[in-house]
Structure 1
């Protein structure tokens, strides 16, 4: 009987950590309590053992998914956005990416119309 209560307490604690407190939703805790109440009259040792094993499996799944989320959040900061990764790869081999075109200031210190006319003239060899 103590194994059943132990599993129940651990499950309830994990559900409270992940769902009740985190999402401010007590639906999962209520459902867990109702499942345990439905099976409170089970006396067959094999059936009790199977139910406890099932509860322990659910507990392991919940703890593992929480740990996975923690690790994913921790290491997601290391994974860089695609543009930054491309820039770092280019720098690694000694290249630099071209500066993106900014229509508001095509060339520093000049007006946009003259810069566009200059680029067009250079492109067509005039």
Structure 2
């Protein structure tokens, strides 16, 4: 599968800045599209998000929650960061990361598009 092409679909979202497919165990990016502004490092942002994902999964294990994460939102002053685990068994441990400009993005529409693209990502 051409992961960059699937991620490129996310770049059609109004306000999309960058997207990545990330291994949550290692923090390594499998594919990326777009570039962070102001010289930011997309690989580093994705790796940091893997820490967030692992922390959430650990909490869910401790609480014995059998309710999978659909997506996670981090709201910053200028950006939204959306993190969505892959639901296909072949993509276990992977997640999609989407960085949006907060002033331009419609969060509801971005979540819908991210869900749609994620459903088509398979390893």
For the superposition of Structure 1 and Structure 2, which TM-score range results when normalised by the shorter chain? under 0.3
TM-score of the superposition, structure 1-length normalised?
A: 0.25
Q: Which has the higher strand share?
A: 2
TM-score of the superposition, structure 2-length normalised?
A: 0.26
Q: Which has the higher helix share?
A: 1
